[in-house]
Structure 1
Amino acid sequence: MKLVRFGDAGAEKPGLIDADGEIRDLSGVIADIAGEHLHPDALTALSRTDPQSLPLVSGKPRIGPCVAGTGKFICIGLNYADHAAESGMEVPSEPVIFMKASSAIAGPDDDVLIPRGSEKTDWEVELGVVIGKPAKYVAEADAMDHVAGYCVTHDVSERAFQAERQGQWTKGKSCDTFGPVGPWLVTRDEIADPQNLGMWLKVNGETMQDGSTRTMVYGVAHLVAYLSQFMSLLPGDIISTGTPPGVGMGMKPPRYLRDGDVVELGIEGLGSQRQTFHADG
């Protein structure tokens, strides 16, 4: 299934994408795409719903983040060897973990705000993994049983905040709107191999990133198992698994986003996003 949340920010309804690419309203079946409804058993039950029995959503509503109730937005740094190289850093011997504030979450086509004082706002297309069943101390062989599905995430980053000021990376990653998620939550059964998905990103129509999840250093199953050794993963948590090369920071000279720039990005089978960047105040 391709699950979607549509409507005004803060008042989204759950839906699914039917065979014709239309949105069907799921609000009479489930309250939201969140919590217990993300459990694999619940998703299996939901998959038995006939899309034709659901109300057709007319028009072109705003698409919201594809999952609600996200407690943790966990990111993995330097998880593509070629991206680590362009960043001038070594491939890590263990996954690099940092957090993105859940308040950064935005819809896939919402405007992104360039924060006050920013001079180095950058782009990163990433595969997002949504947790469906609680995970604690899970083995890698069992890790995928805890995954509800996948989505596109955009790990927008302010490099000066991230790397040139004191402290950890979080403040360069957590500005409002810096975490577009969606358009869809694609359930795990629809993606045969999350380690073989093409991914791309364009700025003002120019291709900047053109990669594949094949070149991940640490794959999805490893990351779920690894993270579960340090914290409980809960339904609705999102793991953003790293980006391929082609970010602005790695260019010579570096290139960063400015007011009015348009970024488009997508991942094979998971849909695409489009954001216009605007100066925040």
Structure 2
Amino acid sequence: MHGAAGGSDGALAPTDLARSSWSREQLHGVAVSGALARTAERTLAALGRDDLRPARHTVDLFRPARFEPCTLTAEVVRESARICLVDVALSQHGERVARASVLFLKATESTDASVWEPTERPSPPPEDVAPPTDAPAVPFLRSDAPWSQDFRQHQNAGRKTSWNAAVPVVAGERLTPFQAAAATADGASLVLNWGSAGVQHINTDVTLALARLPRGTEVGLAALDRVEVDGIAVGTAAVFDREGPVGEVVVTSLVNARRSISFDREEQRDPNRA
């Protein structure tokens, strides 16, 4: 995962790119979410259902995933002409540590009715700042400071946007647009919970809702809303690519201030990326 070595029976062994910023002995959610999405996508392919596309990917991160090999198993909960629901579990030493529920839907024609949509949408950094690429790269960030890859500039209370070129979930394997979106979605916690004192919340889940797949593996996240009461935070981020909106992410987080992650002391780049 995140450059993992593949194994038999759905087994993956983590590489250093999968280490968490919270602890070197844990896996970060980006790698876990990407691995779960990969298993769900492969399960759908095994059914021969190339007429469906991912519309919702919900991940529960209910135990710390250790920096150790993982086993992934999938169950098809429901399959019909227009829908397929797949549940995926990630286990270590026989114990489940994370799970995903992935919904695939059949695309049809849209109606011609007029329905409200926002008039303003987030956009990626200019191409002269972040040239288009299909190779992994350090994320670009924008906050109260302009687009840059220097994380020190963005440790502030401003609304944040990130632009991400995702790392392959498995080394030597082509990254799909769905895997890129699902892995990047966990990065919404950084976009939503990073403030003037660093990242002081850890997310317990991720829900990615997609109206379409990204065109490629570059994915943007832009903070839309955030509510916090008594240490529980709920945030929503827009998901977009170079052509426009793709969907949204909702993240629930718990305060974790005693182990906060700060980026203001040195030029620290996102450890979840290349």
More helix by share: 1
Q: Which has the higher contact order (CA 8 A, sep 6+)?
A: 1
TM over 0.5: no
- Bin the TM-score by the shorter chain: under 0.3
TM-score (norm 2): 0.26
More strand by share: 2
